[in-house]
């Protein structure tokens, strides 16, 4: 296991040669690693912010078109700056914490959860060179970190001291926990097929053929489970606004609401990155287009598909969601695992 990547490594070498005149030994190494990490985080945050902005704008446009409406049009060309205006509005509003909320936990949980997903992003390779933490156990790390999210989400809803938030948080925990099992079974099949837990080598193994073609059941199950894990429609019981108002975000006021929006978009980014890396060949593609663009192209198509599903489906009832998870997806995931084992491993 190596905790360094070519991306950080190049910056490390450049910064360390730059600083070698002024510093010596361990101080030099520490400062160079820190500077390289800061540069990586800046690159990552540019990706996250750009994706969040484009996704939120495009989602408003696509859903509006699906309804036969125009969507945002006035602010900027095609309403492109509407979300910037909304962000400025949200940032300029007061941050209110209700008196019944557990103040320290409530204020710290949402940024913590956002941080969790940024850490997950650091494990996900964008190309062979652009990786934050390049370990051979990246697949395990990503999904272990992902399984922390129900806990944090429950704490956000519970500590806000509102019954709607509490109900919504309980719903998310139930969905996230019960859909985690089929997800892990599919991921296990992927790891089995690739013979590795490293995301880089999983993509490398798909040089001969995408895993989506090797296990068509797997990608369907994984995509449905992913929609539940991201709590996108039709699994958006978390914020069923006709019953629970805004769900777990009832007491979350403006600047924190902005963080929660960013969090949801980052989750979509993580989810579509995972699908494209595990099943759609990641950054592999014909030569003229660079690998990073290939990956982003696949992510863009997946996110547009997620938006179209949002515009198409209605919210599922709680018992049906659980029934779908336990009675259909779970056996399908097991079947996928067995079929993969029999066809490709034995």
**Min dist. Cβ of residue 157 to another protein (A):** 31
**Min dist. Cβ of residue 191 to another protein (A):** 29
**Min dist. Cβ of residue 302 to another protein (A):** 14
What gap in Å lies between CA 286 and CA 97, rounded to an integer?
Answer: 52
Nearest partner of 169 among 182, 151, 144, judged by Cα: 151
When the beta carbons of 95 and 317 are compared against another protein, the nearer one is 317
When the beta carbons of 61 and 171 are compared against another protein, the nearer one is 61
When the beta carbons of 49 and 308 are compared against another protein, the nearer one is 308
Task: Please provide the size of the chain in residues.
Answer: 346
| Chain residues in the site for another protein (CB under 8 A) | 62, 64-70, 73, 308-309, 311-313
**Min dist. Cβ of residue 65 to another protein (A):** 4
When the beta carbons of 295 and 302 are compared against another protein, the nearer one is 302
When the beta carbons of 13 and 308 are compared against another protein, the nearer one is 308
**Min dist. Cβ of residue 4 to another protein (A):** 43
When the beta carbons of 8 and 307 are compared against another protein, the nearer one is 307
């Amino acid at each position: 296991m190596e905790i360094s990547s070519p991306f950080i490594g190049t910056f490390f070498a450049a910064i360390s040669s730059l600083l070698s005149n002024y510093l010596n030994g361990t101080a030099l190494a520490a400062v160079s690693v820190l500077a390289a990490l800061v540069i990586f985080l800046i690159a990552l945050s540019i990706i996250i912010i750009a994706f969040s902005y484009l996704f939120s704008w495009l989602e408003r446009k696509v859903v509006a078109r699906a309804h036969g409406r125009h969507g945002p049009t006035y602010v900027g060309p095609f309403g492109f700056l509407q979300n910037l205006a909304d962000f400025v509005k949200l940032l300029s509003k007061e941050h209110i914490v209700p008196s019944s909320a557990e103040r320290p936990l409530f204020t710290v949980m949402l940024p913590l959860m956002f941080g969790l997903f940024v850490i997950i992003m650091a494990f996900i390779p964008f190309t062979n060179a652009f990786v934050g933490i390049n370990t051979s156990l990246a697949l395990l790390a990503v999904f272990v970190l992902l399984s922390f999210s129900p806990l944090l989400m429950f704490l956000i809803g519970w500590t806000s001291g509102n019954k709607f938030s509490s109900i919504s948080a309980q719903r998310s925990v139930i969905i996230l926990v019960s859909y985690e099992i089929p997800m892990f079974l599919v991921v296990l099949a992927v790891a089995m097929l690739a013979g590795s837990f490293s995301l880089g080598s999983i993509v490398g193994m798909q040089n001969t053929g995408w895993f989506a073609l090797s296990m068509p059941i797997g990608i369907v199950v994984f995509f449905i489970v992913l929609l539940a894990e991201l709590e996108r429609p039709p699994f958006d019981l978390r914020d069923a606004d006709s019953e629970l108002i805004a769900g777990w975000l009832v007491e979350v006021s403006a600047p924190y609401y902005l963080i929660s929006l960013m969090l949801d978009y980052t989750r979509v980014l993580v989810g579509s990155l995972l699908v494209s890396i595990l099943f759609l060949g990641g950054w592999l593609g014909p030569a003229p287009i660079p690998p990073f663009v290939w990956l982003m192209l696949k992510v863009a198509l997946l996110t547009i598909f997620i938006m179209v599903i949002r515009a198409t489906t209605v919210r599922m009832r709680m018992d049906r969601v659980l029934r779908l998870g336990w009675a259909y997806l779970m056996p399908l995931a097991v079947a996928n695992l067995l079929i993969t084992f029999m066809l490709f491993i034995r």
